[in-house]
Structure 1
Amino acid sequence: MVFYSTNASDDYARCSSAFVEKNETLNPVVDGNLKERRESNRSKVILDWAVDQNKSSCRGACKSDNAECEESESVSGYYYCKCETGFKGNPYTAGGCKDVDECQHINLNNCLHKDRCHNTPGGYTCSCPHGQKGNGRRNETEPVVTLALLGAFTLVSTLCWAHKQRSLMQLRQRNFEQNGGNLLLQQLSQQQRYTDRTRIFTKVELKNATNNFDESRILGRGGQGTVYKGILPDNTIVAIKKSRVGGDPQNIKSFINEVFVLSQINHRHVVKLLGCCLETEVPLLVYEFVENGSLLDHLDPSKNECSITWETRLRIATETAEAISYLHSAASIPIIHRDIKSANILLDHNDRAKVSDFGASRLVHLGEAQVATVVQGTIGYLDPEYLQTGQLNEKSDVYSFGIVLLELLTGSKAFKFNTLASHFVSSMREDRLWEILDRRVLDQKKNAKQLKEVALLASRCIRVNGEERPTMKEVAMELEGLIAMEKHLQEKDKDMMKAEESEYLLGHYTNDGYGSASASFSVASHDSIQKQVAFEIIDGGR
């Protein structure tokens, strides 16, 4: 750009001075004295250039390995060469772009300590203390990023865990309500003295106790559910009953009924309820473990080769009768079991009886002689009068117990309705009792009288008219009397044997000649009496 001087002393020259300057930086009006401006060195000159409009041609002009092409800001559409970041020098000559040592300039690196900065081609790295590994400049920011990510992950995990726990709590509460937990707690609260005996187990406790309800832990399957063997943390072995179907109002009612009924009972021959779990989809009951199976298992030759003796059978019948008698007359509120059968009579390691499965049981409140209900029970054990009228009373249990007595006598199963009872009654009428008795107990001839007495008792228990049946208290007393009589006879026989031995010894050592004859007479008399008793037992009842 050229300007004419306006200084009077320079009138003789039309162009006293000239220079080049960026157009935007000069105002001819304000800066008219060009000589003064030049002498003050205030001129602004910008020199710029570009290689070519073709970027590929530009790349050919960049001779340095660490150079790159970039579009010119001042000359639009043209490109020029420049050194890459981290390099400095002439990009138009080979090897012209030299590496910049960022570690020598504190403002060019972000390392916290100078001795941890290590220069690299085009950049630098920062080492980590105490032998840790890292990537220099990135490591200074990575811990922050890592911590932020870790914090975010922890927060999300915590929120997810809290949501899951809240969902599980809601599910457990919903299951608790659906399984009748509120109703159960209400009923138990009305019997405060029994509440402490009924423990509420958690789902996790019973899951761990049964190895997640593994198939190998199954003790048996019944009409109302499956029973598992469980081991609690204190090594207590328990039986855990898992209901077959959850959510059904009738099943829930039976479950709550069983818990409440068993909470009223404390008898040595009734299986003990330890607690329950209501958090699962189907309710769970926890009982004491009775390890020797059911009476049905021991009577079935296909399941148990070793038959239980008649003495044990009679004792089991007596203990069962005692338990049912307790339910009817000694419990705080009378209880009708409604499903007495050999499968519900469990045996411990000493073959002691334990009555179980109270899901169908009913409480009989004061003033109620009988209860109208929907008929429940097991075919073959059902009281025909209850089946016809729907009126439940204590004599219904008596009938079912009578069928159990028939199973003990005959070794047969009561699977079909009234088949065993009908066959037994007809055999008694035709005086063919000895033909239908279990051969495994018939071999024991000395029990003939007991077998006859128990058969007569059973025939009274299964009479069609309930009023003609004895009470369970009377049944228990008769069975106890038979056991007591047997013990008395055994003791009497022992005393007689001792007396005979004494007489024999006295007769052997006396000189009057009567001792030996007396002893022989005594033995002969005893044998004749035994034969007479056996004849009367076999001939009786005709």
Structure 2
Amino acid sequence: MGVGFGSLCLVMGGILKKRRKIRLHKKFFKRNGGLLLQQQMFAKEDSLQNTKIFTSKELDKATDYFNKNRVVGQGTVYKGMLDDGRIVAVKRSTGMVAENVEKFINEVVILSRINHRNVVKLLGCCLETEVPLLVYEFIPNGTIFQYLHDQSEEFKMSWETRLRIAKESAEALSYLHSSASIPIFIIETSREKPVSFERGDNRRGLASRFIDSMEENRVLDIVDDRVMEQARPEELMMVAKLAYQCLSLSRRKRPTMKDVSLELEQILSMQKDLISSSRDSTYFQQLQLLILQVLFPEK
């Protein structure tokens, strides 16, 4: 009888624990705006229908219960695999309070509608955890931040690659500004961090430092040494003038991101033509040398 009673207590304890967990999940789901998101999803017949509300059980399994070995980036993002085999990035949302629930849900709705090859896709979210979890497609090659700031001597980013990143970033921003269902505006920054305490008190802001350098006609002095080794001065000045226009305090003087992407495309084309002509020149030099060796072989 004692063994039977103990087993019954264990079973009842497990059931009660499971029920408490379910109640807690429902509490978090409601607090994190789950009901509001469901209303938005049912009310709109658009791409929001593809957005999924994940359960905590699904994401626990996908991330091996948020195993530390799955951490990527800055520590709040975990690599995971869904049951259908898709690799995802699961991000813990931070700093959300009850007053911001409606704003958070609106942002989820907006981000779910974004569909651009240069913008990471939001696949869905989980709202039955203490803090919301956002599920994105996983990008295996790292972030732009890592490419710009964590470069090693073995991998030096070329001037052509930097131009391509700038152009594709401008294309993505143009899409967010003009083609998304609701215009989205964000702040991006070229290779230095936007604010650095390693610079002097008056030069901590990269934007103000750059503007001062342009107006004092010494902008090439602050260009990354790696860029100076590869880019022509005229190309650098074209990009610098474009950036200077983008930082204008007058809205009318600032170019649209579409204009920026088009101009960067032109500069990138110039760079490709230069590389092509350089290769052609090398090829013809080698060919001429070969002809001379055939016609006038050494004795």
TM range (shorter): 0.7 to 0.9
The structure with the largest alpha-carbon Rg is 1
Query: Are residues 1:475 and 2:260 paired?
Result: yes
Q: Which string of whole-angstrom CA distances, capped at 9 and with x for unpartnered residues, describes residues 256-302 of structure 1?
A: 2332112111110000112211111111001111233332223225x
Number of the residue aligned with 1:334: 182
How many residues align? The count is 287
Calculate the TM-score normalised by the size of structure 2.
0.82
Number of the residue aligned with 2:159: 310
2:63 aligns with one of 210, 214, 222: 210
Q: What secondary structure does 1:212 align onto? A: coil
Number of the residue aligned with 1:454: 239
Matches within 5 A, 1:102-141: none
CA shift, 1:308, in A, is 1.4
Number of the residue aligned with 2:199: none
Number of the residue aligned with 2:211: 425
Number of the residue aligned with 1:414: 194
Number of the residue aligned with 1:122: none
Matches within 5 A, 1:232-381: 232-245=82-95, 247-250=97-100, 252-300=101-149, 304-305=152-153, 306-331=155-180, 333-338=181-186, 340-341=187-188
CA shift, 1:178, in A, is 0.6
Tell whether the 8 Å contact from 1:172 to 1:279 is kept in structure 2 after alignment.
Answer: yes
Distance 1:160 1:504, change over 3 A: closer
Q: Which string of whole-angstrom CA distances, capped at 9 and with x for unpartnered residues, describes residues 389-442 of structure 1?
A: xxxxxxxxxxxxxxx23x3xxxx2211597212221121122212211000111
CA shift, 1:488, in A, is 3.8
Number of the residue aligned with 2:79: 229
Q: Which string of whole-angstrom CA distances, capped at 9 and with x for unpartnered residues, describes residues 136-190 of structure 1?
A: xxxxxxxxx69xx74x667666555444433332222221111111111222334
C-alpha separation in 2, matches of 1:444 and 1:210: 43
Tell whether the 8 Å contact from 2:63 to 2:80 is kept in structure 1 after alignment.
Answer: yes
Calculate the TM-score normalised by the size of structure 1.
0.47
C-alpha separation in 2, matches of 1:246 and 1:463: 33
Structure 1 moving runs of 4+ over 4 Å: 152-162, 489-507
CA RMSD of aligned residues (A): 3.2
Give 5+ residue unaligned stretches, structure 1.
1-144, 342-403, 508-542
Give 5+ residue unaligned stretches, structure 2.
197-202, 293-299
Q: Which string of whole-angstrom CA distances, capped at 9 and with x for unpartnered residues, describes residues 8-66 of structure 1?
A: xxxxxxxxxxxxxxxxxxxxxxxxxxxxxxxxxxxxxxxxxxxxxxxxxxxxxxxxxxx
Higher helix share: 2
Tell whether the 8 Å contact from 1:274 to 1:288 is kept in structure 2 after alignment.
Answer: yes
Residue identity in the other structure for 1:269: N
C-alpha separation in 1, matches of 2:44 and 2:31: 22
Number of the residue aligned with 1:117: none
Tell whether the 8 Å contact from 2:32 to 2:98 is kept in structure 1 after alignment.
Answer: no
Q: Which string of whole-angstrom CA distances, capped at 9 and with x for unpartnered residues, describes residues 198-223 of structure 1?
A: 1221111211222322333222338x
C-alpha separation in 2, matches of 1:300 and 1:232: 31
CA shift, 1:480, in A, is 1.4
Distance 1:468 1:246, change over 3 A: closer
Q: State the percentage of identical aligned residues.
A: 44
Tell whether the 8 Å contact from 1:188 to 1:194 is kept in structure 2 after alignment.
Answer: no
C-alpha separation in 2, matches of 1:216 and 1:255: 29
Matches within 5 A, 1:23-62: none
C-alpha separation in 1, matches of 2:208 and 2:126: 43
C-alpha separation in 2, matches of 1:249 and 1:476: 38
C-alpha separation in 1, matches of 2:16 and 2:241: 67
Structure with the bigger RCO (C-alpha within 8 Å, sep 6+) is: 2
Q: What secondary structure does 1:290 align onto? A: coil
Residue identity in the other structure for 1:329: S
1:198 aligns with one of 26, 37, 51: 51
Matches within 5 A, 1:139-154: 150=4
Q: What secondary structure does 1:335 align onto? A: coil
Q: What secondary structure does 1:423 align onto? A: helix
C-alpha separation in 1, matches of 2:147 and 2:287: 43
C-alpha separation in 2, matches of 1:169 and 1:217: 26
2:40 aligns with one of 187, 190, 198: 187
C-alpha separation in 1, matches of 2:144 and 2:37: 31
C-alpha separation in 2, matches of 1:248 and 1:415: 31
C-alpha separation in 2, matches of 1:248 and 1:307: 45
